[in-house]
Amino acid sequence: MEATFKTLLGYFCIANVVVNAFHPFSTIYSYFHESCDSTWVQFNAAGLQADLKSQLFGQHLASRIILKAVTGFMNNNNPQKPLVLSLHGWTGTGKNLASKLIANNIYKKGMDSSFVHLFVPGLNFPKEIQVEKYKSQLQHWIRGNVTACAHSMFIFDEMDKMHPGLIDSIKPFVDYYEKLDGVSYRKAMFIFLSNAGGESITQTTLDFWKSGKDREELELEDVEIALSLSVFNNKNSGLWHATLINKNLVDFFVPFLPLEYRHVIQCAMAEMKARGLSPDPDVAYKLALGISYGPEYDRFFSIPGCKMIASRLNFFIEAITIPPDSKPSVFRIRFNSPGKKG
């Protein structure tokens, strides 16, 4: 009996040594391989605030709402439901950029994280006749990914092109349930991006300007009700008569205001800086002048927002390669066609 006990004790000690020996390798593996822990998933509130301020131009409302909503949600260890944000506005106003900044300040790998999932209707849900199939696939995808990581993020781009009724398939996952089939979805985040409601936001912003008020005086209550109704009643919004709205499961309808000439200049300056170039105000002004503005009679807002800045800047950049035996390559910014709009 004593010999058996000693033998078992010996096996236990050997097993303990083996486990402890491999523990450092497990730690190393976790360090290099993305996992759902604080090494890879950790919210940086100060970073998000700084990024919104330095990169998201002309969007005082969106910046404020996003910062407060995301910070409050991520700092809550026991949220009652997932965070659902619906971002609305004209193209090029910063909706995709905002979702990217959120991801960058939660996940170490940002948008490249395996815990960030982007859906585009034309790519993921192309055929209307297969909506029922897509609903099942979407539920399966969300269930599997939240099971793998509670802090998963799901971004639905071009919601205005989403087949009616499809988005309601996620309703159980964004509701006030503690668990569904043993899985809690309360720490997940859902972000909708849509051009729907852009007309309503633009009109409200334009009315403010015509009344002599500064756009920075706009508050959420000036826009949100009209925006949510506009989206709910728009058959092309992706949220037309959606249960998510009826049941008040969208936490914030975030308005992205139309951008003015001054904001386009800011975008151009930021793009130059991002490329490692010395920001040139003259180039920024010329870029901004080459953009179309509307509405028809006022021409106060940039129609493409800042969307065309990155591609158009290419026409103003001339790369000059210095022979390697002298100095490294440098960039010079110039006007390709002086006197003509870019």
Give the residue extent of every domain in the chain.
47-256, 261-333
**Residue given tokens 């209307």 in the structure block:** 128
Q: Which CATH number fits domain 47-256: 3.40.190.10, 3.40.50.300, 1.10.1740.10, 3.40.1440.10?
A: 3.40.50.300
What pLDDT was estimated at residue 329?
45
> Per the annotation, where are the binding residues?
89-96
Q: Per-residue confidence at 326, pLDDT binned at 50, 70, 90?
A: very low
Give the type of residue at 17. V
Asked whether the predicted pLDDT for residue 339 surpasses 50, the reply is: no
Q: 330 versus 184: which is more confidently predicted?
A: 184
Residue 31 has pLDDT above 70, yes or no: no
The mean pLDDT of 170-177, rounded to a whole number, is 94
Which CA distances in Å does 328 have to 177, 260, 321? 59, 38, 8
Residue 75 forms beta bridges with which residues? none
Q: pLDDT tens across 275-321, in order? A: 898 889 999 999 999 999 988 777 889 999 999 999 998 887 764 22
Check if the beta carbon of residue 187 is closer than 8 Å to that of residue 157.
Answer: no
Query: Span 166-171, mean pLDDT?
Result: 91
- CA 203 to CA 227: how far, in whole Å? 11
Residues 6+ positions from 160 with CB-CB distance below 8 Å: 194, 195, 196, 234, 236, 237, 238
Per the annotation, binding residues for ATP are: 89-96
Mean pLDDT for the stretch of residues 173-200: 94
Mean predicted lDDT score pLDDT of the chain: 85
Indicate the pTM of the whole model: 0.84
Straight-line distance from the first to the last Cα atom of the chain, in angstroms, rounded to the nearest whole number: 91
* Least confident interval from 89-98, 214-223, 314-323: 314-323
**Res 4: pLDDT:** 55
Name the E strands within the chain: 83-89, 116-119, 153-156, 189-194, 252-256, 293-294, 301-302, 317-320, 330-333
In the prediction, which pLDDT does 71 show? 98
